[in-house]
Amino acid sequence: METGKRRAAGRPRGFDPDAALERALLVFWEHGYEGASLATLTEAMGISTTSMYATFGNKEELFRKALERYTEGPSAYVARALEEPTAFDVATAIIAGTIRTTTRPAGPHGCLGVQGALATGDAGRGARDLLVDWRDDGYSTLRDRFGQAVDDGDLPPEADPAVLARYLTALAYGIAVQAASGVDRAELQEMADAALRAWPLT
Amino acid sequence: METGKRRAAGRPRGFDPDAALERALLVFWEHGYEGASLATLTEAMGISTTSMYATFGNKEELFRKALERYTEGPSAYVARALEEPTAFDVATAIIAGTIRTTTRPAGPHGCLGVQGALATGDAGRGARDLLVDWRDDGYSTLRDRFGQAVDDGDLPPEADPAVLARYLTALAYGIAVQAASGVDRAELQEMADAALRAWPLT
DNA sequence: CACGTTCCGCATCGATCGATACAAAAACGG
DNA sequence: CCGTTTTTGTATCGATCGATGCGGAACGTG
């Protein structure tokens, strides 16, 4: 069975799936899962509902793929931050990235992982659970990174990685909520600078 | 014109509006504005859609009244906290109240003012704007309270009331998001204790 | 008991929700 | 040029959305 990139038989697609997914991501980001209707999504994507279902499955699958794209795109600063040499640098990079991403001048304000589906009805339960897992993954990864910092002697032995990770995620989510409310980027950065002056918490 | 509490003519109501509003509040709190359908709301309230519209106006008005009830009920700890004697006591009371309210064992987790309508479609724009104002009011009141603390000498002269208020609201919103994700009350309190050990930020 | 007033149960409204059926259109290998 | 495969355009599905119309039921008053 040939699995090369040779063009498959049949009529070729008339649109770029990546570009369409990017548009869908922006709609979900701005309006949330429940607030983004199929009509709004497909209009922004420039395709018909038929093409959307054929390419992405259904609304929930589209959201799942948009979240993946978000993680590897606008939210990629998280993975990069984890590779910073010290726990303080990690924390600084996480917060700086959060502020930058949640207050982009030409883009939705806030964080998809927070406002995408925080409280929903039955129809949005799948998306809500998906984001709960997404946030939990971020917390766990951060906690493990701070645990490593304790082992390395970068953080003092009495530092609690779980507490530090909860604190930093809480700060990031709080920034995301305020960004969604329209709070200015400079004001958030000034607040974050003050908060990180007390790092690490004991 | 008599404005006494004398019973008005006509058939009396077959339900308690306060009790019905309390039920509606819980539904909005758990599912958000868009996730709470009229069918879900009226079923929880125990009344028909006709009675709901006659008594509360429409869905958005019902949400507005539920938010008022939330402010004077579950969220009343904010007003009480502002009367604490010192800025540190205010901050401690705000965070303690946030944790308690967002993790009630027999009630929705999270904060209505955050998850009620953080990102919405066109239909939820009214509720969203309402919550933006609600959060902004909370911030402004807190900032003024910390400004008073500076004037009183309770906080050092170099303390920035705006930064402190942004920080505390961010922490509270971050706690609310984590509570909505199912994070345990004790874990949040442990994190908050560590955060407040660094109070006031400089 | 009749009347005016208010509330409630039932049916239903047009609009929109997410999701599909169907056939024409556009590519391939033969 | 033909048969196969995949995509696209149109039209539409049943369900649910928020919101109302209407007539009878339940009260106070005369």
Interface contact B170-A169, CB threshold 8 A: no
Strand D bases contacted by the protein (CB, 7 Å)? 3-11, 16-22, 24-29
Question: Any CB–CB contact under 8 A between B182 and chain A?
Answer: yes
Question: Any CB–CB contact under 8 A between A48 and chain B?
Answer: no
Please say whether the beta carbons of A168 and A141 come within 8 A.
no
- The per-residue pLDDT for B82 is 98
DSSP at B73: T
Interface contact A121-B36, CB threshold 8 A: yes
Question: Any CB–CB contact under 8 A between B178 and chain A?
Answer: yes
Interface contact B170-A171, CB threshold 8 A: yes
> Is residue A196 pLDDT above 50, yes or no?
yes
- The per-residue pLDDT for A2 is 41
Among all strands, which nt has the closest C1' to A57 (CA)? C19
Tokens encoding B43? 């079923």
> Is residue A7 pLDDT above 90, yes or no?
no
- The per-residue pLDDT for B6 is 56
Sorting pLDDT into bands at 50, 70 and 90, what band is A202?
confident
Collect all residues of chain A within an 8 Å Cβ-Cβ radius of residue B170: 170-171, 174-175, 177-178, 191, 195
Collect all residues of chain A within an 8 Å Cβ-Cβ radius of residue B174: 169-174, 177
Q: Which residue has the tokens 């942004």?
A: B166
DSSP at B148: H
Please say whether the beta carbons of B62 and B52 come within 8 A.
yes
pLDDT tens readout for residues A44-93: 999 999 999 999 999 999 999 999 999 999 999 999 999 999 999 999 99
- The per-residue pLDDT for A4 is 44
Mean pLDDT of A157-173: 98
> Please, where are the H alpha helices in chain B?
17-35, 38-45, 49-56, 59-72, 77-81, 87-102, 112-115, 125-152, 161-180, 185-196
Percent of chain A at pLDDT > 90 equals: 95
Tokens encoding A75? 């939210």
Mean pLDDT of A161-185: 98
Q: Tell me which residue in B30, B124, B175 faces A35 most closely, judged by beta carbons.
A: B124
Interface contact B183-A166, CB threshold 8 A: yes
pTM of the model: 0.96
pLDDT in tens, chain B (202 residues): 343 445 667 899 999 999 999 999 999 999 999 999 999 999 999 999 999 999 999 999 999 999 999 999 999 999 999 999 999 999 999 999 999 999 999 999 999 999 999 999 999 999 999 999 999 999 999 999 999 999 999 999 999 999 999 999 999 999 999 999 999 999 999 999 999 999 999 8
Tokens encoding A10? 């049949």
Please say whether the beta carbons of B197 and A202 come within 8 A.
yes
pLDDT tens readout for residues B184-200: 999 999 999 999 999 99
Q: Residue A16 carries which side chain, given as an amino acid letter? A: D
Question: Any CB–CB contact under 8 A between B119 and chain A?
Answer: yes
Sorting pLDDT into bands at 50, 70 and 90, what band is A3?
very low
pLDDT tens readout for residues A80-131: 999 999 999 999 999 999 999 999 999 999 999 999 999 999 999 999 999 9
Mean pLDDT of A7-14: 84
Tokens encoding B131? 């919550």
Tokens encoding B102? 């967002």
Tell me the C-alpha distance between B6 and B3, whole Å. 8
Tokens encoding A2? 């040939």
